[in-house]
Structure 1
Amino acid sequence: MKVLAAMSGGVDSAVAAARAAEAGHEVVGVHMALSKSRDQTRTGSRGCCTVEDASDARVAAERIGIPYYVWDLSDDFHDLVVEDFLTEYAAGRTPNPCVRCNERIKFASLLERATALGFDAVCTGHYASIRADGPGGAPSLHRSRNQAKDQSYVLAVMGPEAARRSLFPLGEDETKEAVRAEARKRGLGVSTKPDSYDICFVADGDTRGFLERHLGEAPGEVVDTGGTVLGTHRGTHGFTVGQRRGLGIQQPAADGAPRYVVDIDPASRQVVIGAAELLSRRELVATDLIAFEPLEAGRAVTAQIRAHGEALPGRILEVPTAATTPASGGTSGGLLRVALDTPVRGVAPGQTLVLYDGDRVLAAATLERRP
């Protein structure tokens, strides 16, 4: 099989590419250059895809003995991930840029280019598994055996078609230490390289500062649920539902209890704060459903709303009209409604909702405001 191995410059993608080559596949390594700033370096970045990362990926590819190329996907990344991030925050929503990157870059732009060049599959170092146990024996996406590193949540938006054409060689590994040990054994210099973290295009980790620089200031009011003005802010994009600190208010609640952001209204420029109990929800409503198999009302599922959050048991209340598995991993219109057995806190519009059956991914969708 002809395989395109996405090589970030880290240990996981290097070992994944090595395993694919060792399995007898015809492997070509490619590094996706996502940053428009060619001056970005790892010492000044907390993310991935820096100048040093491209160099590390090249050295790893040479050690494995596979061809290696750098593809400039910075325009796609800026338009489909960075701009989406800014637009969503401006609309009072809380997106996960890693989800968007996986959906629109790694398993859309990259797979499209791979297909055009005659590759059969894309291989990455993600911690997830593809198994042939979906309906009719179709390939399905599963959690990694390494629960601490599991990335099935951020991969769920890839859809069934991309799953059929993806290889995740690390999905059955139980520890990251085992992967690093294998990298050392293979002579890969990235064996001790630290993991990337946080938002890769916010190099200094200051998300609020990044948003202010790009969206500017739009002053407004901080109010309680009764509409009483408690303070001011410089822009609703500096807040997320569930936030407790940096609210810009001086007077404490009458009962002395902590207060949190419970709603954001960009149109009126108001940030609404309230008691913790207002953050709890038993019912989740989402749109833009990407289903790996047909869903039906009444089905028991577990639901996860954060990358490393707990998966909570519940059941599907409603699926979009005629919602079936999208033939190409596309989205279906209408609402997905899920009732949880126990309430979950901090549900914010724009977050990704992923449904599981055990460790198998059933679907992904985008959370909306309260029903």
Structure 2
Amino acid sequence: MTETTQPTRPLRVLAAMSGGVDSAVAAARAAEAGHDVTGVHLALSANPQSFRTGARGCCTIEDSRDARRAADVIGIPFYVWDLADRFREDVVEDFVAEYEAGRTPNPCLRCNEKIKFAALLDKALALGFDAVCTGHYAQVTVNSDGSRELHRASDMAKDQSYVLGVLDDRQLAHAMFPLGDTVTTKDEIRAEAERRGLAVAKKPDSHDICFIADGDTQGFLAARLGKAEGDIVDESGTRLGTHEGAYGFTIGQRKGLRIGTPAADGKPRYVLDISPVNNTVTVGPADALDVNALTAIKPRWCGAAPTGPGTYTAQLRAHGGETEVTAQLVDGSLEVTFTEPVRGVAPGQAIVLYDGTRVVGSATIASTVRAAAGVA
């Protein structure tokens, strides 16, 4: 079956422009390819000053102005759409609720699922657009039968397919990623932006969570959930210290535990478990983090759902590597077994399955099986 990564006809394209260099170059490439492109910046906060300032976020007044200037240079219409209510409900409140429940969410993945390729895409289709274009580094291939597949970017160093693993068939049918099929460095993307006269060419990348203004995730959660002192214990239940809220910890965390008593072997301790029920954080040695298997819920497939057990590679973090797994659906949940133990796997994270470079789908980790104890 032959495949292509390019649309065969000009499309009406809505380009999501964050105000950064990647989305600006993506919009410019889409326009240069002959598509009828309109730029849109998403206003995601009712009070933009509460989000990141300067060039570090994607939700500020400055970013919307940068996006508008880029659209003017490209020569495309530009609008600002207010999706603040949806973003607060589907991303920010979900983020807080997940941490409160002792889980570790990925807000960027949730934003792609609920905002960029749900709320934004639905509005775009209602207005007669054919596709939504973003600056993500990933590829959508079109098979000869018209079916679509999501693949890793040509340049693995910049691949962002992990945070797009929540996209289903319908969303893939209307997704365009102009940066994903060329092997170019970020310096080359910036050089291209400069050649095109885009002022964002030298704008720093954003890395942190856009809706946490000062980068202090624990402080952000404390302001919304309140301080709640609890115990830090070892695997035997011995009390080692206290904390001000179990939500401030993640599985695998080593720094910031503030435990006065050193371990008997002198080695660092890591967070092994977070229990919101009794507000307790359990810590222990690194090898106690080894996970052999997991169960994940709410699977979403980038194509047909797999039938029967299969062998895949899996990615567990946005910037993590791949690991070999076997996986199968059991009563609607994804049961995954690792060929070799992995560490730092936390409920709430997404696991994304790959068949070569193709994204098979994703699911949310619900529980894990530890190698040492053989229990979740």
Please give the TM-score of this superposition, normalised by the length of structure 2: 0.92
State the Cα distance separating 1:133 from its structure 2 match: 4.3
2:265 alignment partner, one of 252, 255, 258? 255
Aligned twin of 1:331:
none
What is the CA deviation profile of residues 163-193 of structure 1, one whole-angstrom value per residue up to 9, with x for unaligned ones?
1111000001222222212211111111111
What SS does the aligned partner of 1:355 have? strand
| Structure 1 CA distance for aligned equivalents of residues 51 and 349 of structure 2 | 29
Distance in 2, Cα, partners of 1:262 & 1:369:
13
Letter in 1 for 2:310: R
* Structure-1 residue corresponding to 2:160: 151
* Aligned position for 1:6: 16
Q: Is contact 1:45-1:203 (8 Å) kept? A: no
- In the alignment, structure 1 residue 311 sits paired with structure 2 residue 310: no
Give 3-state SS (helix, strand or coil) of 2:233's partner. strand
Mapped partners of 1:343, 1:210: distance in 2: 33
User: Corresponding residue for 1:57?
Assistant: 67
Bigger mean CA deviation after superposition, 148-157 or 179-188: 179-188
**Residues 3-23 of structure 1, C-alpha deviation per residue, up to 9 Å, x if partnerless?**
111011111111111111121
- The residue correspondences of 1:96-115 to structure 2 (distance < 5 A) are 96-115=106-125
Structure 1 letter corresponding to 2:161:
S
Where in structure 2 are the equivalents of 1:112-127 lying within 5 Å? 112-127=122-137
Amino acid at match of 1:315: T
Spell out the pairing of 1:232-243 with structure 2 (5 A cutoff).
232-243=242-253
Deviation at 1:42, TM superposition (A): 5.7
Q: Does 1:216 align with 2:226?
A: yes
In structure 2, give the amino acid aligned to 1:344.
Answer: V
> Offset at 1:305?
0.5
| Alignment partner, residue 351 of structure 2 | 353
Q: What aligned pairs does 1:225-236 form with structure 2 within 5 A after superposition?
A: 225-236=235-246
The equivalent position to 2:99 in structure 1, one of 64, 89, 95, is 89
Whole-angstrom CA distance in 2 between matches of 1:370 and 1:315: 15
Amino acid at match of 1:313: E
Aligned length: 357
Q: Normalising to structure 1: TM-score of the pair?
A: 0.93
Seen in structure 2, the aligned counterparts of structure 1 residues 138 and 196 have a Cα distance that, compared at 3 Å, is same
RMSD between aligned residues = 1.5
Moved over 4 A (4+): 40-45
Which stretches in structure 1 are left out of the alignment for 5+ residues? 322-333
User: Do structure 1's residue 36 and structure 2's residue 46 form an aligned pair?
Assistant: yes
Q: Tell me, what secondary structure is at the counterpart of 1:63? A: helix
8 A Cα contact 2:39 2:77, kept in partner: yes
Q: Answer whether contact 2:52 2:214 (CA < 8 A) is retained.
A: no
Is 2:210 the partner of 1:200?
A: yes
* Percent identity (aligned): 58
Matched letter for residue 361 of structure 1: V
Asked if structure 1 preserves the Cα contact closer than 8 Å seen for 2:90 and 2:114, the reply is yes
| Paired residues of 1:9 and 1:54 also in contact (CA < 8 A) | yes
SS in 2 for 1:57: helix
Q: Distance in 2 between matches of 1:44 and 1:235?
A: 30
1:201 is displaced (CA, Å) by 0.6
What runs of 5+ residues in structure 2 fail to find an aligned partner?
Answer: 1-10, 370-376
After superposition, the Cα gap between the structure-2 partners of 1:45 and 1:88, relative to the gap in structure 1 and judged at 3 Å, is farther
Asked whether the equivalents of residues 18 and 67 of structure 2 are also in contact (C-alpha less than 8 Å), the reply is yes
Distance in 1, matches of 2:309 and 2:48, equals: 51
Greater mean alpha carbon deviation, residues 100-109 or residues 180-189: 180-189
